[in-house]
Structure 1
Amino acid sequence: MALADVRAGRSLRIDAGELAGALGDSVTVLPLVVALGALTPFSVPTVLLWFGVFQLVWGVAYGLPLSVEPMKALVGLTIAGTITAGELVAAGLLAGVVLVVAARLRALGRIESLVGEAAIRGVQLAVALLLARTGVELAAGDPTLAAASVGLVAVAAVARRVRLSSLLVLGGGAVLAVVAAGGVSPTLPSPAVFPTVPTPTFGAAEATAGQLAMTAGNAAVATSLLCSDLFDADVPPDRLAGSMGAMCLAAVPFGGLPMCHGSGGLAGKHAFGARTGGANVVLGVLYLAAACVAGVVTAFPTAVLGVLLVVVAWHLGRAAARCDRLLLVAAVGVVGLLTNVGAAFLVGAVADRLLDRFGSA
């Protein structure tokens, strides 16, 4: 199906609902980007530049508030130190090639049917546990500041505004970072060809396999269903796979992150009021503006960053719990935490198939 067919009859709108929806999509993106910039050689201005570009591109192309998020398994593993920045680059390129080829072959439906939901949810849980562990370690560096951030999150949770709390904590950390840095100095993004050298390793391939399992189920099939449910739009999974592959192959060589369309981000945009691609236009402009003042990230307090990572881990862990085979999901998550995500994915995929054949759990 051509993009023109998907876009047909959908006009862009800019209003309060689109603005609120745009902010709803940034809740999990910004903490991961800030963490990656603070803990790895990735340039935050360049990363935000690519997020801004593709928010604009897909908002206009689809006419829908599609989410543009980091590939959380790959980025989470890099933040946790399980794979290196070079391995993330290699994994992002590999994921891009696989997604483009899968889209051309219309293979997403077949690929997704080979991997049970429990294996995919288990990989999500494994990444959530790794992020939570890293977050606790960072928060331990300044217990007082971490406690204040936790208190803010707790108050927001009681008020059922956890997403808002993430933005407030991020904003508070940004203020502290500006003070520590002595002000904000404009920092223009400077994309360069492979600023971080790709490191193709077996670990990178394992991480890619785990990410693609999540991408097929969550970012392609589930997002396609949500487009139909929430917006009455026919967006085939393979069309979304092609979009995600294009993002990876265009951005990763020039300092961007592997990116995908998450169903959670799309649902979040809708819940906050977004109904058109106007939300993407708003967020794209905001990301591009943020890219010009993102140099302050190096002063961002790591204790606050740790609390934000735990919040992100909580959201990812809740998503992982949406499965009938919770024992298997938990087992896959623990295997991923104790060994690696690739091994966890294989264990989960095999166990899920065996349970389909011999029984349920």
Structure 2
Amino acid sequence: MTCKYSFLNRCDRLSGEFSGAFADLGTFLPLVLSLIALNQFSPQGIFMGFGLFALFIAIYYRRPIPVQPMKVIAALVIAQGLTPGMLQASGILMGIILLVLAYSGAITWMAKQLSPAVSIGIQLAIGLQLIWMGGLMMSNTWSIGLIALAVIFLSRFLPLRYLAMPAVLGAGMLWQYHTGAADSFTPIVETQWTIGWPTLDEWTSAAGLLVLPQLALTLTNAVIATSAMAKDKFPEDGDRLAPKQLAKTSGWANLLLAPFGATAMCHGAGGLAVQHHFGARTWIAPAIFGSSCILIALAWGPGIAGMLSLIPLAVLGSLLTIAGSQLAWSRRFIDGRPFCILVIFSTAAVCLLVNTAAGLAVGVVLEMGRRQWLTISDLKS
């Protein structure tokens, strides 16, 4: 009997690693497939970049630290039809900036200025944005998206619950194959792997149009907030998950892989939340994800492109919604002090109404005011 339960537990853990490995597809696939389908970027370079980065993460951290596209850069490139050279330049520039901040120690100082309340506020804003994006992706076929959400939610109460996400993906692809009734990323064009180098105009344009808007989100969500969440979920790992380390790994990955066609990449608190929710706990999850990306890059052709295009947009939207809800929620909403709640919701509101950098500034100013008030109160007493 003991052996039976041990076997079931092992299967449950492995299914969790497998499910968690692909739990962040709601964020990953829409951006990556849009770059390939709409902008005609090289799928080989993009998938190979993610694969190598994820395998390095598996070896270096031995935890499911997520690997994601830099959302602001990818979204602007897609929306404005920018060139591969601009995308390449933005990745290299982001890599250099992150490495300078990491090795100079500036990122450690910045992390100390960011209180948990400010970090939670930023996570709340980003989580709500992901939920909104997920809803838009489900809007044309609500029934598919809601069924996927319901299945994943109800699976929490069932054995081998971590198999729900790949099962939903597989069922959605089969349904799309037989009916073709749902929105999806089609057609995905076949593009050759080309390696180039940005022009001077592409460097300057990327710095102003892509790097500056992305920098605030990367520092807050991909470095500082991800570090805070990782330490909370894996407290035994300590300084190995510090902001300085996350900045180094993101920096080196972009600096080394962007010249070969990889898109700008980073970590992300939302990805960590959803991967952990679906059962990822060790190096196995990023190793599975990285190996899959490398296989896709090496075997890219009409067959792989057609298979990925079968994933209904509504299913991806349901995954994105789950990632957003996991990121947005915090126990501080229940047990936090009144001023803490004020900082959280003020930071989130300004992030949503203005931008992440402005929200960060408001949160830091409020926290500085609170500290100054406490100092004056102590002096008077």
Q: TM-score, normalised by structure 1?
A: 0.73
* Correspondence 1:245 to 2:245: no
Partners of 2:281 and 2:192 in 1: CA distance? 28
2:220 equivalent in structure 1: 213
* Correspondence 1:295 to 2:295: no
* Correspondence 1:308 to 2:312: no
State the Cα deviation string for residues 32-75 of structure 1 (Å, max 9, x = none). Answer: 2221134443555543322211222232345x134232166537
Deviates more, 1:261-270 or 1:313-322: 261-270
* Correspondence 1:37 to 2:27: no
1:328 equivalent in structure 2: 343
Deviates more, 1:239-248 or 1:83-92: 83-92
Partners of 1:264 and 1:184 in 2: CA distance? 27
| Conservation of the 8 A alpha-carbon contact between 1:92 and 1:257 | yes
| C-alpha spacing 1:316/1:74, structure 2 compared with 1 (3 Å) | farther
2:262 equivalent in structure 1: 255
* Cα shift at 1:150: 1.1
Following superposition of structure 1 onto structure 2, how do residues 143-158 of structure 1 map, counting pairs within 5 Å? 145-158=141-154
Q: From the two aligned structures, give the one with the greater helix fraction.
A: 2
2:377 equivalent in structure 1: none
Larger CA Rg, structure 1 vs 2? 2
| C-alpha spacing 1:286/1:239, structure 2 compared with 1 (3 Å) | same
Identical pairs, percent: 20
| Conservation of the 8 A alpha-carbon contact between 2:122 and 2:221 | yes
| Conservation of the 8 A alpha-carbon contact between 1:31 and 1:309 | yes
* Correspondence 1:54 to 2:50: no
Partners of 1:269 and 1:228 in 2: CA distance? 14
| Conservation of the 8 A alpha-carbon contact between 1:210 and 1:345 | no
Partners of 2:92 and 2:220 in 1: CA distance? 16
Structure 1: runs of 5 or more not aligned:
1-14
| Conservation of the 8 A alpha-carbon contact between 1:95 and 1:212 | no
2:7 equivalent in structure 1: none
| C-alpha spacing 1:203/1:125, structure 2 compared with 1 (3 Å) | farther
Deviates more, 1:53-62 or 1:241-250: 53-62
| Conservation of the 8 A alpha-carbon contact between 2:34 and 2:78 | no
* Cα shift at 1:269: 5.6
Partners of 1:295 and 1:195 in 2: CA distance? 27
Deviates more, 1:65-74 or 1:243-252: 65-74
| C-alpha spacing 1:306/1:65, structure 2 compared with 1 (3 Å) | closer
Q: TM-score, normalised by structure 2?
A: 0.70
* Cα shift at 1:99: 1.9
Deviates more, 1:264-273 or 1:153-162: 264-273
* Cα shift at 1:243: 1.3
User: Secondary structure of 1:27's match?
Assistant: coil
| Conservation of the 8 A alpha-carbon contact between 2:58 and 2:287 | yes
Partners of 2:33 and 2:322 in 1: CA distance? 18
Partners of 2:67 and 2:129 in 1: CA distance? 19
* Cα shift at 1:338: 2.6
Partners of 2:121 and 2:148 in 1: CA distance? 29
1:281 equivalent in structure 2: 287
State the Cα deviation string for residues 283-341 of structure 1 (Å, max 9, x = none). Answer: 32222234435423456433333333222221221259679423332232232223322
Partners of 2:81 and 2:365 in 1: CA distance? 24
Q: Which amino acid aligns with 2:315?
A: V
* Cα shift at 1:212: 0.4
State the Cα deviation string for residues 1-37 of structure 1 (Å, max 9, x = none). Answer: xxxxxxxxxxxxxx85456424313201x22222113
* Cα shift at 1:246: 0.7
1:265 equivalent in structure 2: 272
Deviates more, 1:131-140 or 1:191-200: 191-200
| C-alpha spacing 1:260/1:333, structure 2 compared with 1 (3 Å) | same
| Conservation of the 8 A alpha-carbon contact between 2:254 and 2:264 | yes
| C-alpha spacing 1:192/1:312, structure 2 compared with 1 (3 Å) | farther
| Conservation of the 8 A alpha-carbon contact between 2:23 and 2:275 | no
| C-alpha spacing 1:94/1:22, structure 2 compared with 1 (3 Å) | farther
Q: Which amino acid aligns with 1:249?
A: L
